[in-house]
Each structure stands twice: as structure tokens, then as C-alpha cells.
Amino acid sequence: MNEIRVRFAPSPTGYLHVGGLRTALYNYLFAKKNGGKFILRIEDTDRTRYVEGAAEQLLDTLKWTGLEYDEGPDKAGDFGPYTQSERLDIYKKYALELIEKGKAYYAFDTPERLQELRDYQYANKLQPKYDKLALNLTKEEVNEKLKAGEPYVIRLNVPENERIIAKDLVRGLVEFNTDIIDDQVLMKSDGFPTYHLANVVDDHLMGISHVIRGEEWLSSLPKHILLYQYFGWEIPEFAHLPLLLNPDKSKLSKRQGDVAVEDYKNKGYLKEALVNFVALLGWSTSDNREMFSLEELVEEFSIDRVHKSGAVFNIEKLNWLNAEHLRKKSNEELTNMLRSEYDKSRFAEIEVSDKYLSQVVEAMRERVSFVNEYIEKSPYFFERPTEYDQAVLQKRWKEDSSAFLKAYADKISEIENPTKEDYDHILHQLAEEWQVGIGKVIHPLRLALSGVGIGPGMFDLAFILGKNEVIARINLAIEKIKI
């Protein structure tokens, strides 16, 4: 195989799992790093789990992350269709070919018989697998049952006591004995293929050179290798990615937090941060660098640096990365993002200019990790405080605070267009005149302007609010705060 061709093949059963995003990302990075193609294929043959509209949502979410595929259901290529339910005739053809070769067989077992077999094996502590009973049927008996319309499946004919050795790009050599491999169902009674047949047939016909997928598929590898061998096809390279784990080392699940990419998108995480974070779940660079753009990930990625052990999903690291990526954005980008957030906030009816929002961005840039925090952490930029933090008030508001603030407001009112430096200079001037420390006067001023004891630079806040608003807030605080 000369051309590198990889694929991401999700099932439309709901949302895009972060583990699915990791698989898609590693395939994308491997393809782009090696000048290859990244293909999207929708594996919708399990009709019992199919969710209407899920395929479209998967495509939208993948596009949001920036992982552009070269071929897919909505991007024509030479190997379509790229949705498995549109390829049923292809799978049937190859299943029948296996039967002709004696590598697969019809099985007409009833659900009741299969349950009895499972119960017997469980009770006797035997390997749970099909007992090949259907192989005892003669060709004539099979034809009679087919003509009679009896329900059937097509099963893989696994040889007994053979070793299957395969090279995995992450785990090295892996070995299996066929005695522990079940005669896997390849075609179900509803006429749809199982994952195993459809996956191998499609990977071959679509020219997939490397199969990069999750560790949960490692146990299926010998079945797939057998299929490649039975068909006489070239076997692609395989890489099985480590499991994603909760902090307690259990398998990542919704019981302990969000697992859908859409959840993180809706919570305001940047796609750049999420992609960066997911890339580090099971892969690292030689210098342990942690901040990457998608383009930088393409340059740095190497499959031989993917770890064997499970990767812990650390939400604190994701939050840190989100903050770092947010701060790397330009003032203009952040202003546009804040505008979008502001227009759907409770303040939307209050008109503010982009220039004003830009000033808020500049003041709060180092204090937020998410765009919505520009509003949630500093609502005082958009409304006057009517209540004041009681803990700060009791600690910082003294008997002379009202008098000082009144004097400060009077001084500010005398300046036509006070600058940030004016707000600073007047406060220092008054503190010197009153012979008090700066802290004693700056804290009541912050409380009057914001209602809280922390925030951006005090004089940045005053300048952004403007002279009239500063004076109005001081007067309101003097009126409302009585000690």
C-alpha cells in the first residue's frame, strides 16, 4: 500500500463521544503528517441502536472541531457510498463468497437453542461460543431451509487451535489462539452485516492502509485477520489506542461526567482547547510540551509515541488549556466572541458598543477561562450593583469610607474626561491628604463600583465605566451602605 489512507467510522447511535473524537483526531493527524487521506464512513448497520439524525449531528460536530475529512457521505470520493446501509448488496456478495470457499456457513438456530447453549456453557464454566452445530447440515438440508424461508445468519468458520500473530503499531506483537474465538455472525437475520464483515470489506475496498481505533476492538483483531486471509486480501497496519479513564481509573463513562463532544461545545469550551486536550490523552511529545494548535499537532504527531496504558481524563487540565487558548486569541476575536455571548445574555437589551466590549476584554483577559465568564464574573460592567458583598463590607468599609468616596466623586466631577491615570492620581492625592494607606481607600471604592472585593485593575474598571457612572455608583453606595 503506497498511499496512506485512514478512516474514522462512527456509528450514528447518538452523540460523538470524546473517545471517538480522539480516534478521529489521531487518524486525521496520521494522515496529514504523512500526506495521506482521511476518510469518514458512517457504520449504521446496527439498526437496533440507530438514532435518527445522529449521522448529521456527527458530521456537524466533526466539522466544528476542524477535522476536515477528504472523503465522506457529503464529500464525494472514488470509493463510495460512505454510508454502510447503502452498501448491503456488497456485503451479501462477499458473505456468499466466503460460504462458497467453506470459510463461512449458514446457521438456522432458534434464539431458544442459543440461549440453552449459553446457559449450559455458563453452568459448566465453558468458553461461551457457538458449537458449530450448523456445520453438520448437508448442502441439501441448507438449500431446503433457505427455500422454506427459515431465518438464518451467516457465521465465520474459525479454525481450531491455530495461532494468529499480528503486529500492532502501539502494542507490538500480539498473539491469539483461535480456540477462544467464536464463530462470529457476519450477516444477521435482518440482512444487515455485523461490524466485523462490513468493516473488513469496506476497509479493503476503500484502500485503507492503516486502521487506527480504540483498544476495545483489539479482541476483534484475530477475526478480522482471518477475514483478510480468507479473502486473500492485503492486511492493513493496525494500531489500537489506549482506553480513556475516569480519575478513579475506571473506564470513562457518563456516570462520572460529560463524555459527549457536544456537551463541551455547549459549555463554552473552545474547539482548539478540546482538540489539544484530547490529543494528549494517550500521546505525548519528547519534550512534554502541552500547548498545540491543530497545525502544530500535525507537525508533531507520531504514532510511535502513543501510550499503551489508559489515559486519565483530567478536567482541570482541559480547563487550563481552555484558558490558555482563550488568552492567545486577539482582542478582536475575543470581542466578537463576547458580542455573541452578550447578545444571548440577560443584558442583551442594554446596548453596548463593540468598543466597550473590547475594553472589558482587555481588563478581564487574564481573569477568565471561558468567554461567558466575561459576563458571569463581571456583571458590574453591565449593571450597577444593588447589593454588596457582606464579608468585604464588614472588613473594608469603615466609618470614614462614605466621606472619602464623597470627596473622591467631587474631585472626579471637576475633570471633563478623566483618564485612567486621573482616577489613580486623585485617589493617591486624597489618601495623602487624609494621611491613610491606599488600601483603606481603594477597597471601599471597588466595593462601590462593583459590589465585590475582587476584579480587574481598579482604575481600569473606573475608566471603562466612565465618569458619570463612577459618580452615580459612589452616590448609590453612600446611600445604601450604613454602618
**In whole angstroms, what is the distance from residue 185 CA to residue 187 CA?**
6
Say how far apart CA 293 and CA 301 lie, in whole Å: 12
Query: β-pairing, 163-168 with 210-214?
Result: unpaired
| Cell numbers found for residue 386 | 444593588
**Cell numbers placing 434:** 487624609
Could you confirm whether 254 is annotated as catalytic? yes
What is the reported pLDDT for 255? Answer: 59
Q: Which of 281, 375, 379, 366 is nearest to 324 (CA)?
A: 366
Buried b (16+ CB within 10 A) or exposed e, 68-78: ebbbbbeeeee
Distances (CA, A) of 196 to 73, 217, 219: 21, 10, 12
**pTM for the full model?**
0.91
Q: Is the peptide bond before 81 cis (omega within 30 degrees of 0)?
A: yes
**What local confidence, expressed as pLDDT, does residue 254 receive?**
64
3-state SS record for 142-171? HHHHHHCCCCCEEEECCCCCCEEEEEECCC
β-partners of residue 176 are 164
**Nearest 5°: phi and psi at 39?**
-110, 140
CB 282 within 8 A of CB 311: yes
- Per the residue annotation, which of 63, 251, 254, 308 is the catalytic one? 254
Digit-by-digit pLDDT tens for the chain (483 residues) are: 579 999 999 998 888 999 999 999 999 999 999 999 999 999 998 887 877 888 899 999 999 999 999 999 998 889 999 999 999 999 999 999 999 999 999 999 999 999 999 999 999 999 999 999 999 999 999 999 999 999 999 999 999 999 999 999 999 999 999 999 999 999 999 999 999 999 999 999 999 999 999 999 999 999 999 999 999 999 999 999 999 998 888 888 765 567 899 999 999 999 999 999 999 999 988 888 999 999 999 999 999 999 999 999 999 999 999 999 999 999 999 999 999 999 999 999 999 999 999 999 999 999 999 999 999 999 999 999 989 999 999 998 998 999 999 999 999 999 999 999 999 999 999 999 989 899 888 999 999 999 999 999 999 999 999 999 999 999 999 999 887
* Torsions phi, psi for 75 (to 5 deg): -140, 100
Q: Which helix (H) or strand (E) holds 244?
A: strand 244-245
User: Does residue 16 contact residue 271 with C-beta atoms inside 8 Å?
Assistant: no
Choose among 279, 280, 282: nearest CA to 307.
282
Alpha-carbon gap, residue 96 to 103, rounded angstroms: 10
- Count the neighbouring beta carbons within 10 Å of the beta carbon of residue 136: 7
Domains in the chain: ranges and CATH:
88-241 (3.40.50.620), 254-328 (1.10.1160.10), 331-381 (1.10.8), 384-483 (1.10.10.350)
Q: Which spans in 310-398 are helix H?
A: 315-328, 331-342, 354-364, 373-376, 390-396
Asked whether the beta carbons of 318 and 263 are under 8 A apart, the reply is no
pLDDT (0 to 100) of residue 46? 83
Q: How high is the pLDDT of residue 38?
A: 97
Instruction: Compute the Cα dihedral for 94, 98, 104, 106 and give only its sign.
Output: positive
Identify the burial level of 156 via C-beta atoms within 10 angstroms of its C-beta, where 0-12 means exposed, 13-18 middle and 19 or more buried.
Answer: buried
